[in-house]
Structure 1
């Protein structure tokens, strides 16, 4: 199952980008044997300042056709890392070939795009910077692959 991260904004060089790249490299390596990955980043920018609706249109074009859509949103479901791993495995086992995680901009994700999502995930009640959410998602993807492979990374 290919994993697409469709996000508003560009993650520039620096510590956050280094972490993001490191965890996705680990995910791709660990997930390969589990039919998870490869991962691909799709970054969009609304240079005209059209707000959430314009960002949603750009994100919509970045999401592969027939992909399962999971938004990263403060209103989403909070789950444990093992539960997230089981959810990824369930989607994979149900024959989904593409999974798109959608990360909005500073104002979040347009309501119409949120309504189209198959699932919504939250990293807790706090609001996180959208660039940091990418790092957190990449780490959780690697952790999920590690859990599913029986690796030692996740210590529960």
Structure 2
């Protein structure tokens, strides 16, 4: 399976880059995982709703440019469906079984995802109603993808 994670924003914290690197290494035997890091739109701390929408639109254009036409796109969105680890594993298993071996997860910037990205998404996934920093979400996502492969293979998960 080919998994692409398209994420807005640069990772600067070493503990996040180290954690992600560890899970990418662990994922090596199961899938080819590529992280596409896109620059976030520079914006002032306080913006009007229209300005926030402009930021989402510009970031969304960059996201859409990175998505392959045949990819099954799963957008991380607070309003999406919540899945257990087992349900995520089942989703990935079904996609692989039905010939959708290219999966793209999308993590937006601090202002969320544009309407165009959400329309392009085949599914929307939420990790709950709480808000995580988008940089931390990248680490959480790669850990959950790794866990999903371990579940699907019936292998023990070593913490």
Q: Which residue of 1 aligns with 2:151?
A: 147
**Does the 8 Å contact 2:20/2:139 carry over to 1?**
yes
**Does the 8 Å contact 1:3/1:38 carry over to 2?**
yes
**Structure 1 unaligned blocks of 5 or more:** 32-36
* Pair 1:69 & 2:63 matched: no
**Does the 8 Å contact 1:7/1:103 carry over to 2?**
yes
Q: Work out the CA distance in 2 between the residues paired with 1:66 and 1:140.
A: 23
**Structure 1 residues 19-48: Cα deviation after superposition (integer angstroms, max 9, x where no partner):** 11111211222x1xxxxx200001111456
- Alpha-carbon RMSD: 1.6
Runs of 4+ in 1 over 6 A off after TM superposition: none
- Largest Rg, 1 or 2: 2
**Does the 8 Å contact 1:24/1:138 carry over to 2?**
yes
**Does the 8 Å contact 2:86/2:151 carry over to 1?**
yes
- The one of 126, 130, 136 equivalent to 2:130 is 126
Q: Structure 2 length as normaliser, TM-score? A: 0.88
Q: Work out the CA distance in 2 between the residues paired with 1:154 and 1:144.
A: 13
* Pair 1:39 & 2:43 matched: no
- Give the C-alpha shift of residue 145 in structure 1: 0.7
Q: Which residue of 1 aligns with 2:89?
A: 85
**Does the 8 Å contact 1:143/1:154 carry over to 2?**
no
* Pair 1:57 & 2:51 matched: no
Q: Work out the CA distance in 2 between the residues paired with 1:67 and 1:18.
A: 27
Q: Provide the aligned length of Structure 1 versus Structure 2.
A: 149
**Structure 2 unaligned blocks of 5 or more:** 44-53
Partner SS state of residue 10, structure 1: coil
Q: Structure 1 length as normaliser, TM-score? A: 0.90
